[in-house]
Amino acid sequence: MTTQHKIAIIGAGNVGAHCAYKIAQKELGSIVLLDVVEGIPQGKALDMMQAGAVEGFHANIHGTNDYKDIKDSEVVVITAGLARKPGMSRDDLVAKNSQIMDTVIDNVKKYAPNSIIIVVSNPLDVMTHRAWKKSGFPHKKVMGMAPILDAGRMQYQIAKMLNMSIKDVYAEVLGSHGDLMVPIPRFSTAKGKPITEMLTEEQINNIVEKTKQGGAEIVKHLKTGSAYYAPGSSAAKMVEAILKDAHQIMGVAAYLDGQYGLSDVFLGVPARIGRGGVEEIVEIDLDDKEIKLLHNAAEAVRNVCEKSM
């Protein structure tokens, strides 16, 4: 390995474990995988390191139940919390996951006060805001994962509709992680061409709806859990951009301070990510309808934040 970065992942369930595995494959640094359930992080860490022998990557993953082990972590990924079950909305998870988040943040402040926090726990925009408020960290050092995931789901739907490689598709999604996300079809492209020039309005509406329901569809199939491969990979991509100081533009749930006419809310927007965390909010030229949808999403997030804080 060429780096000695330290990354902590809080929550060794499916999302946290897959995130750890992707980070290990990328050889980004040493990983601490923490969970409150004894044996789970230890067993998964051992399994992943042995997989490295098969797949050809060197991994240093420490499974633990002790928060002391996250000391001096540079990035902390928080996946801890209850997963959705069929019929549940992300907002249904607020009360329980708020308690879990408070415990996690107390320990992050104690042991990794200089870290950058990436929140994956649902409801994501609300939990990201709570992590920021409870931590007292600068807002640029706290962000949520969702827009990368939502864009990935839209890319999949576009590629499927056009019978095209997903590698040739780009999707732009803003807003909250849930029913009020704001896919932007006119900024979404296939082989560099806007999909609005390639698909009918009905086809685009179908893609947008399937994107919004992407997580719920997976929950419906799994019945006892929610998505984890795409969320885990999305968080790992953010970790990579931070540790490599990539200054890469990607969709994240970031704190808005006047951008898009919004303030004091975490919402999905394009942002430049690097060693300093969220280095810049990128403001794309939205039309009146898109701005209204974004503001509606912000209002909904604020309402849940006010009820839960």
Choose the catalytic residue: 62, 177, 221, 247.
177
Distances (CA, A) of 197 to 53, 160, 193, 200: 47, 17, 7, 8
For residue 177, indicate whether it is catalytic.
Answer: yes
Distance set, CA 139 to CA 22, 43, 46, 118, 301 (Å): 26, 35, 35, 11, 17
**Amino acid of residue 199:** L
Beta-strand relationship, 263-274 and 277-281: antiparallel
Please provide residue 32's backbone torsions phi and psi, each rounded to the nearest 5 degrees. Answer: -110, 120
Instruction: Single out the residue of 173, 209, 148 nearest to residue 19, CA to CA.
Output: 148
Which residue, 68, 84, 80, 66, is CA-closest to 117?
A: 80
List C-alpha distances in Å: 164 to 156, 158, 167, 183, 189. 10, 8, 8, 19, 12
Are 243 and 29 within 8 A, CB to CB?
yes
Rounded CA gap, 6 and 73, in Å?
A: 5
Phi, psi at 162, each rounded to 5°: -95, 0
**C-alpha to C-alpha distances, 187 to 40, 81, 285, nearest whole angstrom:** 42, 33, 10
**How many angstroms from the chain centroid is the CA of residue 238?**
8
Q: Which residues are catalytic?
A: 177
